[in-house]
Amino acid sequence: MTVPLRPPLLVQRPSKALLAGMVVSSLLALVVLAVMLWRGGPVGFGLSLLLALAPLPVLLAAVLSLDRLEPEPKLHLAFAFAWGAGVAIVLGVALTLAGQALFTSAGYGARVVDSMGTVFLAPVIEEALKGSALLLLLRRRREIDGLTDGIVYASMAGLGFAAVENVGYYLSAFLQNGVGATVQLFVMRGLIDPLGHPVYTSMIGLGVAYALTRRGAARYAMVPLGYLAAVVLHGLWNGAAATQSLGWLAAAYLVIMTALVLLVVVAVRERRQLVAKMGAYLPAYQQTGLIAPQDLAMLGSLPGRARARRWARRAGIGRAMSDYQHAATELTMLHLRAEREGMEPGRFAAERDALLGAMAHARRW
């Protein structure tokens, strides 16, 4: 008999809808990039693409570092990124241009139409489109177990959007004013404010996650409030950039960085709370033989979990240790979800036993 290398519970079955959405979004992103290549030529496009992608590995690592305790499925993360890079970009440009055309037909001048598009239409439309990735993931709502999950998915959509949008901005700067202007814009967008779009859309992620993980009808009000916060932050930055005033840019940047710090505080606090909850739920499973006192000490400490993974890698069982920690974390979250949603006992028992089976499969020490 063949024994699977990974616990069955930890192997996610791909969603056909998410796969289709990711493929469509990716194709749209490629079409946009192809148009940019045709418009700007290989030199301008190559430089713009290089500058847009240069900070991306660091930004992705920063976002995913928030997700270390209970990693989200890679397919879902890829879907959110592709949605931002493809569907949100294409529809965002189309709807913004359509809105500007309406203002033009109403008799407004080019300068007013430009300002309306930048400060009002773009934030309202783009945040709705990026945030819709979170709403599409609601069908698989058990994947959003906390506020951090909302931040991570929203940030992925924002990073996808920003990556493709930046190619367009850098290419326009190159065509109008050459390499120097392109590099100057990169310093502003790629180095000084690379997390703008992820921060804006994370406000929506917080609202959606709050609505899913709290009780009471009032929780649903957090979704439109999160969207409003995203639009305000986005519009604040665009408006400050439009003034070309260093004072306004500094003020807007300070507000956005404050929002970023608050997001990190929320994620760190939630991670600590989850680790603390392990000490409340997991001791009851010591009688199964799957959790020893030293395992409880390890699982209940972030540094302890990291030390255990390092030891396991040296012992050649690094994947097993990661799977064990993942299953134990999921078991804790199952208890939290049951408390929150009043889960049917039979379903709770089935999911609990599957997680215990995954822990048994992984535990080799």
Flag whether pLDDT at 16 surpasses 90: no
Contacts of 105 (CB under 8 A, 6+ apart): none
Label residue 5 by pLDDT band (50, 70, 90): very low
What average pLDDT score do residues 88-111 get?
A: 93
Q: Which two tokens stand for residue 326?
A: 């993942």
pLDDT in tens, 213-240: 888 878 889 999 999 999 999 999 999 9
Q: Among 365, 299, 353, which Cα is nearest to 329's?
A: 299
Sign of the alpha-carbon dihedral angle for 111, 116, 117, 122? positive
Q: In whole angstroms, what is the distance from residue 111 CA to residue 93 CA?
A: 18
DSSP 8-state code for residue 71: P
Contact assessment for residue 192 and residue 117, using Cβ atoms and an 8 Å cutoff:
no
Q: How far is CA 238 from the centre of its chain?
A: 22
Cα distance between residue 181 and residue 149, in whole Å: 37
* Rounded mean pLDDT, 44-66: 95
Is the predicted pLDDT of residue 9 greater than 70, yes or no? no
Residue type, 132: S
pLDDT, mean of residues 55-81: 90
Q: What is the pLDDT of residue 290?
A: 93
User: Region 121-134: what's the mean pLDDT?
Assistant: 95
Give the model confidence (pLDDT) of 179-194 as tens digits. 999 999 999 999 988 9
Q: Distance (Å, rounded) from C-alpha 46 to C-alpha 40?
A: 9
Average pLDDT taken over every residue of the chain: 90
Mean pLDDT of 195-210: 95
Kindly write down the DSSP assignment for every residue of 119-162, as one continuous string: IIIHHHHHHHHHHHHHHHGGGGGGG--SHHHHHHHHHHHHHHHH
What value does the mean pLDDT take over residues 309-329? Answer: 93
> CA torsion angle for 147, 150, 155, 161 (degrees, to 10)?
-160
Examine the pLDDT at 125 and tell me if it is beyond 90: yes
What is the distance between the alpha carbons of residues 80 and 297, in angstroms, rounded to a whole number? Answer: 35
Mean pLDDT score, 44-61: 96
Averaged pLDDT for residues 244-254: 93
| Whether the predicted pLDDT of 68 surpasses 90 | no
The confidence score (pLDDT) of residue 11 equals: 52
Identify the pLDDT of residue 139.
63
Task: Check residue 13 and give its pLDDT.
Answer: 62
> Is the pLDDT assigned to residue 2 strictly greater than 60?
no
Q: Is the pLDDT of residue 100 over 50?
A: yes
pLDDT per position as a tens digit, 153-182: 999 999 999 999 999 999 999 999 999 999
Summarize pLDDT for 251-293 with one digit per residue, the tens: 999 999 999 999 999 999 998 888 888 888 999 999 999 999 9
pLDDT at 69 over 90: no
Q: Where are the beta strands (DSSP E) in 4-65?
A: none
